[in-house]
Amino acid sequence: MSRRVTLFSTLFALLLTSAATQTSWAELRTDYCSQTFSTVCGDGASPQRDRDTRAATLRTRIQTEATAAARLETGLDPSTELGIMGTGLYWLSYMRHSRQAMLREATAIEIDSIHSNVARIKELLKRALDRQIRFGGWIGDLVNYRLKRKIEGVKILTLLDIEMLNLMRTASGVSISESYRRLCGPEGLTDQAFATTVEGKNYVVLCLGHLVGAIGAGSDSTSNFYNNLQVLAHEMAHFIDYGDYPELYGPYIGCLTDHYAMELPRPAGWTSTMTWMANHASTIDAHVRVTDRAVELTADYWATQTVLEYLREEGRSFSYEDKVRVLRESYAGYCSSPAGNDHPPGRFRVETLLGRDFGIQEIMQCSGLPLANLTPSCTLHGEVE
């Protein structure tokens, strides 16, 4: 009897110990798996506000420096009445100095966050292609080979590259330089990245505003890598997205249409006929909500798979907090981004495209939790329960 009691109490103690150690893990896991958005984005608005603050700090620094240099060079004080000639002279000087300051700031950050990371992020994306494209046979191999060649061929341009191209007055230089000014803003400080094809060559550009949005404002190498991991993969994936390869994404788009279309708002600018049709046929409604954004949805797919490859590679040595940090810093720019006609709302990109991804759920140890399997994960091969 007494032996049995001892055995029972030992078992009970063991159970208690394992319950205690598992509680903290279970709590942590549940956070990401059941509350993906708040785990990655907090209250939703803060990550972007922090990114904007870092860009604003740099903007002030550039403006202060350019103002001082322009005053010194022209001997003019912009707070006084300068007249047309004086104003023109002052602003030309100001613009030149602010360009120089911006270029110097950008080059330091670009070396650390672009030059050191592009090769690695390309490798991760290509590994994701190897893992995902398994049609079998030579057609699958050929598609995979062609897509990887495209990724290899993408050139990531820094601001210095763009300045050089622009100085040479090449058609592509002028065109990319104009795109940079339009999309990145006069000081380059918009939190943006873009992909463009000029004269048959594929380019990706990360605005200075995106680079400086990283935690540490560009001086923390790990944050610089996380800041670019998802975004660079997304932009490079635009050269292999639904626009060029619709046949590749049939099952993926079908799965999103079946399960998640209603989480996407209707694209703006529908005619009354479209609205009438959509109101009467839910399949049309769902189809349009997804296919109108298919280019962005499929670029996001590869971005998630690239982040996943990184976590698979590093995950063994990562704590749960380390993995959450990767996701937070890679997706911070999406947390409060609104829906556009091309882009899905940021919340959908984080909660559904990232949060429902089967591979990420596995890495974050969501399997076995009832919430994780309520909705299917969409892959290139269709849905995974």
The continuous run of DSSP H or E covering 25 comes out as helix 2-34
How much helix, strand and coil, in percent to the nearest 5, is found in the chain? Answer: 70, 5, 25
Stretch in the footprint of Zn ion (CB under 5 A) among 11-19, 33-41, 267-275, 295-303? 295-303
Phi, psi at 243, each rounded to 5° = -60, -40
Q: Give helix then strand counts, H and E, for the chain.
A: 17, 5
For Zn ion, which is the closer residue by CB, 296 or 351? 296
When the beta carbons of 323 and 343 are compared against Zn ion, the nearer one is: 343
Least CB distance from residue 237 to Zn ion, whole Å? 8
Q: Identify which range of 9-17, 30-38, 297-305, 324-332 contacts Zn ion by CB under 5 A.
A: 297-305
The pattern of x and - marking residues 237 through 276 that bind Zn ion according to CB under 5 A reads: ----------------------------------------
Name which of 249, 355, 369, 362 is nearest 297 in CA terms. 249
Q: Give the whole-angstrom CA distance, residue 184 versus residue 198.
A: 18
Distance in Å, CB of 12 to Zn ion, minimum: 56
Residue with smaller CB distance to Zn ion, 296 or 383: 296
The two tokens of residue 345 are 């709302």
Three-state secondary-structure class, residue 377 = strand
Say if residues 342 and 296 touch (Cβ distance below 8 Å). yes
Sign for the CA dihedral angle at 371, 373, 379, 382 comes to negative
Of the two residues 285 and 296, which places its CB atom closer to Zn ion in the complex?
A: 296
CB of 78 to Zn ion, least distance (A): 39
Instruction: Tell me the closest approach of the beta carbon of residue 263 to Zn ion, in angstroms.
Output: 19
Closer of 296 and 357 to Zn ion (Cβ): 296
Q: Which stretch binds Zn ion (CB under 5 A): 13-21, 216-224, 291-299, 366-374?
A: 291-299
Burial class (CB in 10 A: 0-12, 13-18, 19+), 305: buried
| Closest to Zn ion by CB, 207 or 366 | 207
The DSSP string of 161-203 is: HHHHHHHTT-HHHHHHHHHHHHHH-TTS-SS-EEEEEETTEEE
Reading the block at residue 77, the tokens are 């004080």
The region of 122-130, 268-276, 293-301, 330-338 touching Zn ion under the rule CB under 5 A is 293-301
Stretch binding Zn ion (CB under 5 A), from 59-67, 71-79, 82-90, 296-304: 296-304
Gyration radius of the chain's alpha carbons: 25
By CB under 5 A, the count of residues binding Zn ion is 2
**Which CB sits closer to Zn ion, 129 or 299?**
299
> What does the binding site for Zn ion look like in residue numbers (CB under 5 A)?
296, 299
